[in-house]
Amino acid sequence: MRPDGVGGTRAAGRERGSRVDKDCGEWISTLFHKLRKRINADVQSLGLTGIQCRVIHYLLVHCAERPVYQRDVESMFGVSRSTVTGVLQQMERDGLIRRESVASDARLKSLIPTQRAIELDAQVGECLRRIDQSLTRGLTDAQLRAFEAAAAQMTANLDA
């Protein structure tokens, strides 16, 4: 039982003084949902979803360096194969990407951004920058570095 009489244990929340704060998972979940809602609202005028914006940006940055495959998107965004398949199929239907077979392995298809995706790049990049500025407003460089280190460690903890 928590000090306020509500069910739960210290594992479900951190006791600080006489109150119970959210645990890390709750904070991350809240932040994730607020961020997804903000991104989706901001890019709706472009006819995109937040994940489509992130995928477009990722493809445009990395396709110049090397071929990008579905598994790269799965790994980068930490989402399941079925989720990425659905996102990529919709992006293909919307004319944002095309898939190109790889000569060395017919099972592999590289993801190629279309001219439409390239034309949306500046707007997508500006939207992502604006949201990141809003998200990090009031944080010092030291706080941002500490957050990045903590998030990387939490990710590694969950991957272990």
Number of domains, the chain:
1
Q: 108: which residues sit within 8 A by CB, 6+ positions away?
A: 69, 101, 102
For 44-140, where are the alpha helices, taking DSSP H only? 50-62, 70-77, 81-93, 115-136
pLDDT reported for residue 103: 87
DSSP 3: T
Does residue 89 fall inside a structural domain? yes
**Is residue 135 within 8 Å of 39, Cβ to Cβ?**
no
Does residue 66 fall inside a structural domain? yes
Does residue 35 fall inside a structural domain? no
Does residue 115 fall inside a structural domain? yes
For the beta carbon of residue 66, count every other beta carbon within 10 angstroms: 9
Tell me, what CATH number does 58's domain have? 1.10.10.10
Tens digits of pLDDT across the chain (160 residues):
444 444 444 444 455 554 557 789 999 999 999 999 999 999 999 999 999 999 999 999 999 899 999 999 999 998 999 999 999 999 999 999 999 998 888 888 999 999 999 999 999 989 989 999 999 999 999 999 999 999 999 999 998 8
**Is residue 80 within 8 Å of 74, Cβ to Cβ?**
yes
pLDDT reported for residue 81: 94
Does residue 11 fall inside a structural domain? no
Does residue 111 fall inside a structural domain? yes
Alpha-carbon gap, residue 11 to 24, rounded angstroms: 11
- Three-class secondary structure of residue 21 per DSSP: strand
Does residue 101 fall inside a structural domain? yes
Does residue 9 fall inside a structural domain? no
Q: What is the pTM of this model?
A: 0.75
- Three-class secondary structure of residue 110 per DSSP: strand
Domain range for 62? 46-129
